[in-house]
Amino acid sequence: MNAPLKRIVPPAIRARKGGEPIVCLTSYAASTTRLIDPHVDLILVGDSLAMTIYGMESTVGVTVDTMIAHGRAVANAANHACVVVDLPFGSYEESPAQAFRTAARVMAETGCAAVKLEGGIEMAETIRFLSARGVPVMAHIGLTPQSVNALGGYGVRGRNPEEAAAILADAIAVDEAGAFSVVIEKTTESLSREITQRIAAPTIGIGASVACDGQILVIDDVIGLFTAFRPKFVKRYAEVAQPIAAAAQAYAAEVRARAFPGPEHVFGP
Ligand code: KIV
């Protein structure tokens, strides 16, 4: 029997700063994880599952239990990639101690290697607290979807100089606090480039240009499974929605016509 493959660890992701681009995708299930795991460096069990899996309007309603259920499914199936699980809204913002309790539970019950949380300067103390206690943290700045109600929408962040300066300050704060990587969402190319040049942790862009040290996309966007809308920063590498609908339609027609199951699917006497 082959020895199990060793998963990529957060320090190895951090060591990739400025090197070969870091390839990241989200996944929420064992089936998808098995398919993408050999090809990516990091798999994020993102709270974007609120929209992709649960049909919610935002990520605000996701619970820790839900993240743990999907995190466990992904971690069970991944042999190669570093698995990171999102801490959901309300489970970490109150205090570093609350964040540690949630992160420790998520890591213990899923088997993931790290957690991701949203926020900049205001979360720096928490990131320092967690990092010093064995919890590798991926930070998430720029557009932070858990704050959609406060931000007022999902628009590009950092277009004006004041906002750009605030996001750069966020990046420096989470970097100095010890984040092993920093997701930058939906910011201008010039800002993403400046952040990437200024901080020690690798930047992982989503709608943040090729200037970042790596890229992440939501798997359902990449394969064309999520069709409600397509953000400008998404590129589709497959279109699975139509084949899935066509398969269901063909199956339904054959069941109704009593053409399925056929003789080859039936057990003998
Ligand atoms: O929840 C998520 O999937 C994310 C990524 C899009 C970065 O946070």
Assess contact for 79 and 35: CB atoms under 8 A: no
Q: What is the CATH number of the domain that holds 234?
A: 3.20.20.60
Q: Assess if residue 257 is contained within a domain.
A: no
Residue 258 falls inside a structural domain:
no
How many structural domains does the chain have?
A: 1
Is the CB of 183 inside a 6 Å radius of any atom of ligand 1? yes
- Please state the atom number of ligand 1 nearest to the C-alpha of residue 47: 1
In a domain, 216, yes or no: yes
* Residue 162 known to be catalytic: no
Question: pLDDT of the chain along its 269 residues, tens only?
Answer: 655 548 999 999 999 999 999 999 999 999 999 999 999 999 999 999 999 999 999 999 999 999 999 999 999 999 999 999 999 999 999 999 999 999 999 999 999 999 999 999 999 999 999 999 999 999 999 999 999 999 999 999 999 999 999 999 999 999 999 999 999 999 999 999 999 999 999 999 999 999 999 999 999 999 999 888 889 999 999 999 999 999 999 999 999 999 999 999 999 88
Whether 252 is in a domain gets the answer no
Residue 75, domain member (yes or no): yes
Separation CA 110–CA 70 (nearest Å):
8
Q: Could you give the dihedral angle defined by the CA atoms of residues 76, 30, 42 and 218, in that order, rounded to the nearest 10 degrees?
A: -150
Helices 96-110 and 124-131 meet at what angle, rounded to 10? 50
Nearest CA to ligand 1 atom 5: 46
* 256 occurs within a structural domain: no
DSSP notation for 14-29: HTTTTSSPEEEEE--S
- Is 259 part of a structural domain of the chain? no
Q: Tell me the residue range of the domain where 22 lies.
A: 10-239
Counting ligand 1 atoms within 8 A of each CB, the residue from 23, 25, 26, 60 with the most, and so the one to mutate, is: 26
Residue 150 is assigned to a structural domain of this protein: yes
Cis ω before 202 (30° cut-off from 0)? no
